[in-house]
Chains A and B, each alone.
Chain A
Amino acid sequence: MTESSLLSLTALELGAAIARREVSVLEATQACLAQIARMEPKINAFITVTADAARAQAQNVQARIDAGTLTHPLAGVPMAIKDNIAVRGVPTTCASKMLKNYTPVYDATVTARLFAAGAVCLGKLNLDEFAMGSSTESSHFGVTRNPWNENHVSGGSSGGSAAAVCAREVFYALGTDTGGSIRQPAHFCGVMGIKPTYGSVSRHGLHAYASSLDQIGPLCRDARDGAAILSLLMGKDEHDATSVSCSPPALPQGTRLDTLRVGLPTAYFESPLDEDIRKAVLSCADTLRALGATVAEASLPHLPFAVPTYFVLANAEASANLARYDGIRYGFRPKDFDGTDDLYCAARSEGFGAEVKRRLLLGTYVLSGAQYDAYFEKARRARTCIARDFDAAFAQFDVLLTPTSPATAYPIGRKVADASDAYSGDIFTVSANLAGLPALSFPCGMSRDGLPIGAQLIAPAFGEETLLRVAHAYEQSRKHSAPCPKGVLPHDDL
């Protein structure tokens, strides 16, 4: 098998090839490490590459496969993890100076579950500092460039995860999604990104941003890979009191969508939207119709309030969650300080970047004095209105189909004119977080300037299987899943 053909496999295809002994775990790992060496100078998806640990893990996994004790379909498949999720013994920086030298002494539950199934971890992936952003431009370790066009961002905050999967450096990656941070970079990079139902995946070992919104999920090549990865991640964990028991999705099969009812929320198409994206998503709706689904207009009248609601709640929760970084037990501690209070202030002032500080101050503001009722309480009530919109829509529809984001990947360094612009890219994704619903972004076309376009599917709580079934049927009709940028695959033999 050539290196290019190996790297072109899906995670499940590679897992099957490993099980058939057509390729060894170490060969697959070496091929990915070589691809990382080729691509990283161009895209900077990784904060830490753990090459030696990955080779050792590969040999260990191979031995367990050979002994017959490891039979999971993803055993031996190389992957990587967003750098706000704990991997024991590997720095977990949250792309912040604050945690530059922090090395967790335990695995996150998701990490442990993947390792138990034989995943081989190649390292930690870039993000916006503490996952606060949509482009990875606020990372302490530099921006991740988009493999489709290196002058453009890869999206965020899981930009490193999306770029690494797109650039064939890994077969899948873990990301986190607080307001669209898995789905938007998946759209920008032309891969699949899945935000599971709130509570379905443990957050134990995730550095919390906004606890009522955060979810961990996969970025991957296609719907079958997504189902296989989710089946490992989902389920109750005694270390996360918000996690619940739930059935993992079955591997999607079939090419027809007869009886499926798809809603197209009109509000999503009436707000500012790139014309190429509009065409691609409406064309996707036509394809679903051709596969047997009925497609009709849906109403989500509170969409205009989604981003302001998110903005208040996410920042308020962040201001509480990030209070833990005080320079005492772990994280950055300045050399010079005068007493405990000064230590806290100096550690946080020097350890946090500008955007994190702005968000913490805004969060502190909306929780303070009279602002609590005016903003925080108001947003909690607006959140109920948004969730009720979905309840009403799902009385009529099985899934909703929307654009993932109003625009394709934008140039690095684009000046943001005002705050509403900075968050307007989140308008189509934040509602699923506010309502706790599963949502998925999958590639559905390319723009005229050669950048990927994703469409988003949203389902009722615990409707992951429906999302994956629809995405899989669509992939089958198109005869491909994640597109690959030119120049990404090597041409030499393994």
Chain B
Amino acid sequence: MSPDEKTVAALADAAKIKLTDEETAAIAAELSRRIRYIDLLHTLDTQDIPPTTVPCPLQNCLREDVLTPSLPRTDILQNAPASEEGFFLVPKTIEQRSTAT
């Protein structure tokens, strides 16, 4: 089943991407083309085939819990778009209306 414009709008909401109406229509058409292509998979019988998640025989990787130095907080915050008193600054999450920081 190919995604229609309503589905694309819901996908964009889930992926936190804003689309204009024009973009939504264009992406619905593009995704439909791409989906038709991957529909080839439905011609393959996989009923008794187990799924592969990673292509190597990984087991749980356990190690001793050892305390090691962290990266300096001031260095990390140099990449933050906004910070204050050593913390990442984010909009207020309770009040919906807030101003840009």
Q: Is the CB of B18 within 8 A of A349?
A: yes
Q: Which of A106, A327, A338 contacts B71 (CB 8 A)?
A: A106
B86 interface residue per 8 A CB criterion? no
Q: Is the CB of A338 within 8 A of B98?
A: yes
| Shortest CB distance A154–B (Å) | 25
Q: Digit string of B1-42 for contact with A (CB within 8 Å is 1, else 0)?
A: 001000110011011111100000001001101110111111
Q: Say whether, besides A319-B15, A328-B90, A384 and B56 are in contact (CB < 8 Å).
A: no
Contacts of A361 in B (CB 8 A): 8, 11-12, 15, 17, 27, 31
Q: Which of A312, A346, A384 contacts B41 (CB 8 A)?
A: A312
Q: What are some 10 contacts across the A-B interface (CB < 8 A)?
A: A103-B79, A198-B55, A304-B40, A339-B93, A345-B16, A345-B17, A349-B18, A380-B52, A418-B37, A437-B55
Q: Is the CB of B49 within 8 A of A385?
A: yes
Complex CA–CA separation, A361 to B39 (angstroms): 17
> Which residue, of A327, A418, A419, has the highest number of chain B Cβ atoms within 10 A?
A419
Q: Say whether, besides A212-B53, A419-B30, A365 and B7 are in contact (CB < 8 Å).
A: yes
Contacts of A368 in B (CB 8 A): 11, 14
Complex CA–CA separation, A378 to B52 (angstroms): 10
Q: Is the CB of A377 within 8 A of B53?
A: no
Q: Is the CB of A360 within 8 A of B17?
A: yes
Q: Is the CB of B37 within 8 A of A329?
A: no
Q: Is the interface of B mostly helix, strand, loop or mixed?
A: loop
Complex CA–CA separation, A338 to B70 (angstroms): 33
Q: Say whether, besides A339-B96, A346-B18, A352-B17, A198 and B30 are in contact (CB < 8 Å).
A: no
Chain A contacts with B in 303-324, Cβ cutoff 8 A: 304-305, 308-309, 311-312, 319
Contacts of B67 in A (CB 8 A): none
Q: Which of B34, B71, B92, B97 contacts A105 (CB 8 A)?
A: B71
Chain A contacts with B in 74-111, Cβ cutoff 8 A: 101-103, 105-106
Contacts of B38 in A (CB 8 A): 308, 311-312, 366, 375, 379
Q: Digit string of A417-435 for contact with B (CB within 8 Å is 1, else 0)?
A: 0111001000000000111
Contacts of B52 in A (CB 8 A): 380-381, 383-384, 387, 434
**Size class of B's contact patch?**
35 or more
Q: Is the CB of A419 within 8 A of B34?
A: yes
Q: Which of B15, B39, B78 contacts A360 (CB 8 A)?
A: B15
Binding site for B on A (CB under 8 A): 101-103, 105-106, 197-199, 212, 238, 241-242, 244, 302, 304-305, 308-309, 311-312, 319, 326-333, 335-341, 343-346, 348-349, 352, 357-358, 360-362, 364-366, 368, 374-375, 377-385, 387, 418-420, 423, 433-437, 461
Chain B residue at minimal CB-CB distance from A104? B79
| Shortest CB distance A157–B (Å) | 18
Contacts of A381 in B (CB 8 A): 46, 49-52
| Shortest CB distance A92–B (Å) | 10
Contacts of A102 in B (CB 8 A): 79
| Shortest CB distance B28–A (Å) | 10
Q: Is the CB of B31 within 8 A of A365?
A: yes
Q: Say whether, besides A105-B79, A311-B37, A383-B52, A364 and B14 are in contact (CB < 8 Å).
A: yes
Q: Which of B11, B33, B82, B93 contacts A340 (CB 8 A)?
A: B93
Q: Which of B8, B72, B79, B91 contacts A337 (CB 8 A)?
A: B91
Contacts of A378 in B (CB 8 A): 41-42, 44, 46
Q: Which of B56, B61, B71, B92 contacts A461 (CB 8 A)?
A: B56
Instruction: For the complex of A and B, list the 3 residue pairs with the smallest distance between their C-beta atoms, beginning with the closest.
Output: A436-B55, A333-B81, A380-B51
Complex CA–CA separation, A197 to B56 (angstroms): 9
Q: Which of A341, A348, A358 contacts B27 (CB 8 A)?
A: A358
| Shortest CB distance B22–A (Å) | 12
| Shortest CB distance B101–A (Å) | 9
Q: Is the CB of B54 within 8 A of A330?
A: no
Contacts of B72 in A (CB 8 A): 105
